[in-house]
Amino acid sequence: MNNVEILEPAWPMYGGYKVDVSRGERIGRVSSEWFNRPDDERFLSLDDLWARVKARSQRSRTRVVETAAIHVEASRDNPERLQLHLPNAREPVSPTHWAFGQIASIVGAPASYLRQLPSPLAGINLQYGLSSHRAEQVKTYETEDGRTELRAVTGPDYGRIHDHELVEAVQRIAGNGTGDTRWKVPGVLDWSTGVYNPDVEISRDTTTLYASDRDVFLFLVDDHNPIEAGRLPDGSPDLYFRGFYCWNSEVGAKTLGMASFYLRAVCQNRNLWGVEDFQEITIRHSKYAASRFAQEAAPALTRFANSSPQGFVNGIKAARQQIVAQTDEDRDDFLRKRGFSKAESGKIIEKVLMEEGRPPESIFDFIQGITRLARDKTQQDARLDMESRAKKLLDRVS
C-alpha cells in the first residue's frame, strides 16, 4: 500500500520545505469548507469522523411512500414545529431544514417563503401541495436521535452512497489521517519565509476533516514526502506534494466526488497553492451509484494513493524542456493559435517576464503565465476556462 516512489530529498530544510507558490493554480474549495464549518462539524481524526457518521447510519432507515399519503401536523403551541406522519410509521417525524426544502421542491412550493410562515399556516400550504400534487413515490431517509428526524426525501431510484462508506475508503489508504500513514491533515505555509511546515498540531482550527447533518468533506496530503520536478530560476528545487479531497452527501445535497492533484503548499486559511495536474471525478446518486462507487471511485483513490509520481515529474520536465518560442513574434503566434486574444497574450507574456525575469520560451513557461493570469479573473467561469486551457497544454506533453 505504501510503495509510492518519491524522489529522495537532497535539500536539508529545518522545520519544513521552501516552496514557490507563485506558480500553478490557487484552489479555494478547501478554504471555503474550512471557513464555513462550525466546531461541531470539525473532527480531529478519521476514526472520530467515521464513528459519528457510522452511528448515524446505523440509526437510520429508508422507506418508499406515496406523496399523497403523507400527513402534515403543525403545533399551535409551538409555531416553529412541524411534523409529518408517514404511512406505517410508529411516530411522526420532524424534517430537517434540508428535508423540508426537498419536500417543498417536490410539490413546487417556495421553501424560503414557507419557512417564514407560522407552523400551522406552513403546514396547511404544504399539506395542500402534497394532497393535490400528482401522486408519486418518494424515498424517505429517517434517523432516530432522541426523536426521529426526516433527513432526506428523494426520488425512489435515488442511489444512496452512505457518508461512512466514503470515509472507510479513505481510511483504507490513510489510516487515522493523523500521520500513521503517508496521508495526513496538512501543515501550514509561513508566508514570511515561504517555508511550508508539514508538522502542525491538528486542532479545530487546522483540521480538514468535516461532517454535518447533510455531508462529509475530507482533505489530506502526503506532505512529508516532497517531490522534486525541476528547478526554479535560482537553482533551488521546485517542490510538490500530493493531495486529494473528497466529498459526499447521503441526503442528496451534493454528488459524491474526488479530486487529486499536486500542490506546493497549504496556507493557514486552507487555500491550496501552486496546484498542478488537478483531476476530478464525480458520481451522481443515481440508481447504480453504489456499484459505481465500488467499481470506479474507491479504486481510483487507491490507485492515486499508491501510484508513482514519476509520470507527473516527467511531464513537468518535458514541458520545461520543450522550447516553442524564441522571439516576440513566436510567443504571440503560439498563444493566438491557442485561442488567446491579443490582450490576453500580452498579459501572459508580461506575467512570465515579471516572475521569471525573462519572456516565456518553453511550454511550461506559457502554462505558468496562463495560470497566473487566471488567478486575476474574478469571474469563476472565465478563471476555470483559462486554467483548463493551461492543463491541456501540459497534457499534450505529458
The predicted pLDDT at position 230 comes to 81
Q: Say if residue 8's pLDDT is above 50.
A: no
Q: Say if residue 131's pLDDT is above 90.
A: no
Q: What mean pLDDT is reported for the chain?
A: 87
Rounded to whole angstroms, how far apart are CA atoms 322 and 361? 8
Rounded to whole angstroms, how far apart are CA atoms 59 and 71? 23
Amino acid code (one letter) for 376: D
Domain limits, the chain:
17-55+161-228+239-308, 60-154, 322-397
pLDDT in tens, 332-346: 888 888 888 888 889
Mean pLDDT of 6-15: 49
Q: Give the count of beta carbons closer than 10 Å to the beta carbon of residue 271.
A: 20
8 Å CB contact between 332 and 350:
no
pLDDT in tens, 274-298: 999 888 888 888 877 878 787 888 8
8 Å CB contact between 322 and 393:
no
The predicted pLDDT at position 258 comes to 92
Q: Say if residue 10's pLDDT is above 80.
A: no
The predicted pLDDT at position 4 comes to 44
Most confident of 99-108, 124-133, 137-146, 196-205: 196-205
Q: Say if residue 88's pLDDT is above 90.
A: no
Residue indicated by cell numbers 413546487: 108
Mean pLDDT of 201-228: 95
The predicted pLDDT at position 76 comes to 62
Q: Say if residue 355's pLDDT is above 80.
A: no
Length of the chain measured in residues: 398
The predicted pLDDT at position 77 comes to 59
Mean pLDDT of 39-66: 95
pLDDT bracket for residue 9 (50, 70, 90):
very low
Mean pLDDT of 78-82: 65
Name the nearest CA neighbour of 272 among 5, 21, 36. 21
Rounded to whole angstroms, how far apart are CA atoms 282 and 262? 19
Question: Can you read off the three cell numbers belonging to residue 35?
Answer: 471557513
Question: Can you read off the three cell numbers belonging to residue 272?
Answer: 491550496
Residue indicated by cell numbers 451534493: 254
pLDDT bracket for residue 80 (50, 70, 90):
low
pLDDT in tens, 365-388: 888 888 888 878 878 788 878 888
The predicted pLDDT at position 135 comes to 65
Q: Say if residue 243's pLDDT is above 90.
A: yes
